[in-house]
Structure 1
Amino acid sequence: MKFVLGFAILLAYQLLGEILVILLELSVSGPVIGLLLLLATLIVRGQVGESLNTSSSHLLGHLSLMFIPAGVGLMTHYKLLAQEWLAISIGLVAGTLIMLFSCALIMQLMAKLFTPEAIDD
Structure 2
Amino acid sequence: MLASLGLILLCQLIGEAITRGFGLLLPGPVVGLLLLLILLLVRDRFAIIAQGPLRNGGVETASRGLLNNLSLLFVPAGVGVVEKLDLIYAHGIAIVLILALSVVVTLLATVLTFRLVSRLFGHEAP
Secondary structure class of the residue paired with 1:105:
helix
Distance 2:34 2:18 in 1: 12
Q: Deviations over 1:31-90 (max 9, x none)?
A: 221111112232344798421111111111110011111111111111110121110011
The normalised TM-score by structure 1 is 0.83
TM-score (norm 2): 0.80
Q: In the TM superposition, what is the alpha-carbon distance from 1:21 to its structure 2 partner?
A: 2.0
Cα offset for 1:103?
0.6
Which deviates the most, 35-44 or 45-54? 45-54
Indicate the SS of the match to 1:28: coil
Please name the residue that 1:72 is paired with.
79
Higher relative contact order (CA 8 A, sep 6+): 1
Stretches of structure 2 lacking an aligned partner (at least 5 in a row): 45-53
Q: Does 1:12 align with 2:10?
A: yes
- Name segments (4+ residues, structure 1) moved above 6 Å: none
Task: Please name the residue that 1:110 is paired with.
Answer: 117
Structure 1: runs of 5 or more not aligned: none
Quick one: distance in 2 between partners of 1:116 and 1:103? 16
Deviation of 1:19 (Å): 2.4
Does the C-alpha gap of structure 1 residues 48 and 115 become closer, same or farther in structure 2, counting only changes over 3 Å?
farther
Question: Is the contact made by 1:42 and 1:48 (CA closer than 8 Å) also made in structure 2?
Answer: no
Task: Determine helix, strand or coil for the equivalent of 1:84.
Answer: helix
| Alignment length (residue pairs) | 115
**Within 5 Å, which residues of 2 pair with 1:1-121?**
3-45=1-43, 49-115=56-122
Query: What SS does the corresponding residue of 2:25 show, helix, strand or coil?
Result: coil
How far apart, in 2, do the equivalents of 1:43 and 1:32 lie? 16
Q: Percent identity of the aligned residues?
A: 36
What's the C-alpha RMSD, in Å, of the aligned pairs? Answer: 2.1
